[in-house]
Amino acid sequence: MTHGPFHPGERTAQERAGVARMADRIGGSIHSGIPERAADFLDEATLVVLATTDPAGRPWASVLTGAPGFIRALDAERVVISAQPAPGDPLAANLADSTHVGLLVPDFTTRRRVRLNGRVERGPKGEIVIRPDQVYANCPKYIQRRAPGEPLGRPTSSPPVRSRSLTEAQRRGLRRTDTFFLATANPGEGADASHRGGTPGFLQVEGDAVRWPDYSGNMMFNTIGNIVAHPWAGLTVPDFGTGDLLLLTGSAAVEWQPTPTEREAGAERMLRLEVAEAIELRGALGLTARLLEPSPHNPARVP
């Protein structure tokens, strides 16, 4: 990295939010290699989120799942993922075109998660190999605790549903969700995958515009910093009941001044995505999960 742990977009966001000094302190927890505890955590993982960009520079968040061991640290400088994307997921084409990838590995049972940003290559048998630049843990805030269900096996043979706008059924699903994954990127610097959670209804939809509150987080502003530098984002919304995935990409913006009502409901700022493309993948999550307990940190629903 050429700007320490943070690039200029992240610095701009930190300074606007008034947390630059705090971010510098927290940035000391970012590792350039994979700590032993993180390696052990990866060995037990059954789900990973990857952030990549397509040839047009649009970020996409993709989800891969497998039995424990499908993602593992070969050593402190290499992570390998032995899984292939579902048909219709842009991940395969993006990996062929992208240099950088963001990785998020959550455990919904324990509410633990690890983030890793690095450079990607393909292994001799088609494995995804990532050489990390940044590795760090995230706090458990806003993760709903879930118990894993039975694996679904191979994804359904239903063809992916692609569109340039949202359907009414997709809008209803977005409004019901309590969890989604977010991909952003800063071309030439890296990509980032993150998690967002809240009370159902926290994801607002009007036409093809999607808005959500940005709650208090780790003060590093990786997501918002990327959007400041490159105003695009990708969302993936899992349906833990059916195993379906809805992938979205589009132009993104930060609304720095939420309304008084939004601020009262916990939003420090709002983010907005104008959907440019949607892909619905049936059964592509590869698993189901049962809600055990909403996060105790979830703020009240934003009206």
pLDDT digits (tens, 9 = 90+) for 204-235: 999 999 999 999 866 667 888 899 999 999 99
Domains of the chain in start order, with CATH, are 8-292 (2.30.110.10)
Measure the CA–CA gap between 79 and 90, rounded to whole angstroms.
21
Whether residue 18 is predicted with pLDDT greater than 90 in this model: the reply is no
Buried b (16+ CB within 10 A) or exposed e, 183-221: bbbbeebbbbbbbbbbbeebbbbeebebbbbbbebbbbb
Beta bridge mates, 48 = 64
User: Which pLDDT belongs to residue 32?
Assistant: 85
How far is it, in rounded angstroms, from Cα 126 to Cα 131?
A: 16
**Phi, psi for residue 7 in degrees, rounded to 5:** -90, 170
pLDDT tens-digit map of 81-96: 999 999 999 999 999 8
pLDDT, average across residues 8-33:
71
Residue whose pair of structure tokens reads 């891969």 in the numeric block = 64
- Would you state the pLDDT for residue 2? 41
Q: Which residue has the higher pLDDT, 13 or 171?
A: 171
State the pLDDT confidence band at 259, using cuts at 50, 70 and 90. very high
- Tens of pLDDT, residue by residue over 58-68, are 999 999 999 99
Single pTM value for the model: 0.92
Share of residues in the chain with pLDDT > 70 (%): 90
Evaluate if residue 4 carries a pLDDT over 70: no
When pLDDT is cut at 50, 70 and 90, the band that residue 1 belongs to is very low
Average pLDDT over residues 242-263: 95
Are the C-beta atoms of 129 and 270 separated by less than 8 Å? no
3 state DSSP class of 76: coil
Q: Indicate whether 296 pLDDT > 60.
A: yes
Average pLDDT over residues 18-47: 81
**8 Å CB contact between 144 and 197:** yes
Is residue 253 predicted with pLDDT exceeding 50? yes
SS3 257: coil
Q: List pLDDT tens digits, range 130-177.
A: 999 989 887 899 999 999 887 666 555 678 999 999 999 999 999 999
Beta bridge partners of 186: 190
DSSP 27: G
